[in-house]
């Protein structure tokens, strides 16, 4: 099931609110994370694991800043990001250097929670 019927760049807080309100559960193409992965080796491995899982199937959405219980979203918490471009570059560099083969076709999009 496709959780969004629009391009990633057009997803807004209203779209996230709807999937939380409707309690759309995690699936093979949708995963919720409460927090961003830390700037550690373990955090990098976790991010690569999550993205690799999607890359090895049909793709999907990894949504940070949403709390979940047993795979069902319960609340939008948001995550504070000082510089989204810097975070995006960190993730892109990690995908380029930390995965073999290189994972391509991953896109990132910030949604303003306010």
> How many structural domains comprise the chain?
1
The Cα-based distances of 101 to 14, 55, 57, 109 in angstroms read 35, 11, 15, 23
Please check whether residue 111 lies inside any domain of the structure.
no
Please check whether residue 1 lies inside any domain of the structure.
no
Please check whether residue 67 lies inside any domain of the structure.
yes
Please check whether residue 62 lies inside any domain of the structure.
yes
Q: What is the pLDDT of residue 33?
A: 96
Q: What is the pLDDT of residue 1?
A: 56
Helices (H), 1-114: 13-21, 41-55, 84-98
Q: What is the pLDDT of residue 12?
A: 95
Please check whether residue 108 lies inside any domain of the structure.
no
Please check whether residue 15 lies inside any domain of the structure.
yes
114 alpha-carbon distance from chain centroid: 18
Domain residue limits at 46 = 9-98
Please check whether residue 61 lies inside any domain of the structure.
yes
Q: What is the pLDDT of residue 79?
A: 95
Per-residue confidence in pLDDT tens, the chain, 114 aa? 577 888 899 999 999 999 999 999 999 889 999 999 998 999 999 999 999 888 888 888 999 999 999 999 999 999 999 999 999 999 999 988 888 888 888 999 999 987
Please check whether residue 112 lies inside any domain of the structure.
no
Q: What is the pLDDT of residue 26?
A: 95
């Amino acid at each position: 099931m496709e959780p969004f019927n629009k391009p990633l760049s057009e997803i807004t807080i209203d779209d996230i609110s709807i999937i939380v309100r409707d309690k759309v559960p995690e699936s093979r193409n949708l995963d919720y994370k409460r927090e961003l992965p830390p700037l550690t080796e373990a955090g990098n491995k976790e991010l690569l694991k999550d993205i690799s899982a999607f890359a090895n199937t049909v793709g999907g959405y990894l949504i940070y800043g949403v709390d979940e219980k047993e795979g069902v979203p319960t609340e939008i918490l948001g995550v504070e990001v000082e510089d989204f471009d810097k975070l995006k570059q960190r993730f892109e560099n990690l995908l380029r250097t930390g995965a073999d083969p290189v994972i391509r076709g991953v896109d990132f999009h910030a949604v303003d929670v306010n």
